[in-house]
Amino acid sequence: MLAVVGYFEPWWIQILKAILIFAVGLQLVPVVLLAERKLLGRFQSRYGPNRVGPYGALQPLADILKLLTKEQSRPTTSVGLLFAIAPLISILTAVAAFAIIPFGDTQDIFGTKVGLYGIDVSIGPLYVFALGGIAFYGIMLGGWSSGSKYSFLGAMRGAAQLISYEVSQGLALVGVVITAQTLSLTGIVTAQKGMWYFIPQFFGFLVFLVAGFAETNRAPFDVTEADAELVGGYNTEYGGGGFASYYFAEYLNVLVVSGIVTTIFLGGWLMPFGIHPPGWVDPIVVLFKMSLITFLFIWIRATLPRLRYDQLMSFGWKVLLPLATVNTLVTAIVVVAVH
């Protein structure tokens, strides 16, 4: 499963990287949380949170503290064990998916070569889809074990939505994989030296982005949560820590999708116009590109209303899937014709 790595990575570096990635992910989530609330405010001509700390900077801390100090409760109809572990599945898959986002090329640190990513799997995108598939259990089990009809409906919608959009998302990536001739994410990044893939694979980029919105259950595809009709969807019955876990996983998923889009379509740590900065700039470049995509996520949320459920389904199957298929076919034909 591991890619053929041309260097030796000692075990303690692996552990350090695992801890570092989890810590970085944990630090990025409150930033995204605050950024979302501030930006949503600005998109609606208001300030957003600005009371807790300077410019509201401590607002996420206050939110999290509030949620964690709340009383733990669950409905009498719920299934205890599953109700408890469902949010953990969501968090686990989100953090695990974060591990494969490459933040830079291999660097020389303390005399050893270290890749700035958790793990460089030879099946890159498949790993993401596998974890996305498991993440669905977090939502599904959470909704079902709550023993509430709203949660259950939200979970069912989540299941249908995930199946519909993961197909197009996968197909959108096939075009990239054909062009790059590799499934390794670092390989895909280095294959973009000449031109970032969002230009030749523009339709693939669009389909992947739209499907990414659906995969993370973000507006305008947040029918799983649809507050207006489902109260809160799969997390209706959750409060306190469980709800915080789902919240954390949702925003981490936004970051993961931003990271994947950055890696696959926006050239990862590469700079435009062939600029080659020193190695330590790479993570900053990746984080900057990720923040652009995250901004797009928030911008879209501030703009587009939630889709009706049947519109969501027909859009996924009748528009995105044919588009992704045609994109794959055309890419394959072009690649064969050129070689």
Partner 1 sequence: MSDTPPKAEQATPDTTALKVEGWNPGDDVIEVVRSPDPGPGRATWRTFRETARGLLTTFGRFTETPVTVEYPEEKTPVYPRFRGRHKLHRFEDSGLEKCVGCSLCAAACPADCIRVVAAENTPENRVSAGERYAAVYEINLSRCIFCGYCEVACPFDAITMGHDYELSDYDRSDLIFTKEMLLAEPLERTPLRNEGE
Residues near partner 1, by CB under 8 A: 39, 41-47, 50, 299-300, 302-304
The span from the CA of 175 to the CA of 330, in Å, is: 9
Judge if the upstream peptide bond of residue 220 is cis by omega within 30 degrees of 0: yes
* Tokens at 204, concatenated: 């693939």
The residue among 51 and 193 lying less far from partner 1, judged by its C-beta, is 51
Identity of the residue, 97 or 320, whose beta carbon is nearer to partner 1 in the bound complex = 320
Residues 294, 134: Cα–Cα separation, whole Å: 23
Nearer to partner 1, 280 or 299 (CB): 299
Tell me how far, at minimum, the Cβ of 203 lies from partner 1, in Å.
Answer: 12
Amino acid present at 125: P
Q: How far apart are CB 260 and partner 1 at their closest, in Å? A: 22
CB closer to partner 1 out of 43 and 243? 43
DSSP letters, 206-249, are: HHHHHHHHHHTT-TTS-TTT-HHHHTTGGGTT--HHHHHHHHHH
Amino acid, res. 179 = T
Q: Considering the complex, state which of residue 14 and residue 303 has its C-beta at the smaller distance from partner 1.
A: 303
Least CB distance from residue 165 to partner 1, whole Å? 18
Token readout for 148 is 């509430």
Backbone angles phi, psi at 101, to 5 degrees: -75, 120
Question: How near is the Cβ of 199 to partner 1 at its closest, in Å?
Answer: 18
Could you tell me the CA-to-CA distances from 21 to 56, 165, 221, 265 in Å, in that order? 26, 28, 28, 22
- Of the pair 302, 332, the CB lying nearest partner 1 is at 302
Q: At its nearest, how many Å lie between partner 1 and the CB of residue 297?
A: 12
Pick 38 or 289: Cβ nearer partner 1 = 38
Distance CA 109, CA 115 (A): 10
Distance CA(204)–CA(188), nearest Å, equals 15
Distances (CA, A) of 278 to 104, 143, 269, 281: 11, 48, 11, 6
Query: Which helix (H) or strand (E) element contains residue 21?
Result: helix 11-43
Closest approach, Cβ 181 to partner 1, in A, equals: 32
* In the complex, least distance from residue 170 CB atom to partner 1, rounded to whole angstroms: 23
139: Cα within 13 Å, side-chain hemisphere = 32
Indicate the residue among 46 and 149 with the shorter CB distance to partner 1: 46
Residue pointed to by tokens 């990746």:
286
Minimum CB–partner distance for residue 314 and partner 1 (Å): 13
In the complex, minimum distance from the CB of residue 49 to partner 1, in angstroms, rounded to a whole number? 12
Among 54, 145, 130, which residue's Cα sits nearest to residue 93?
A: 130
Name the CA radius of gyration of the chain, rounded.
Answer: 20
Q: Which is nearer to partner 1, 43 or 137 (CB)?
A: 43
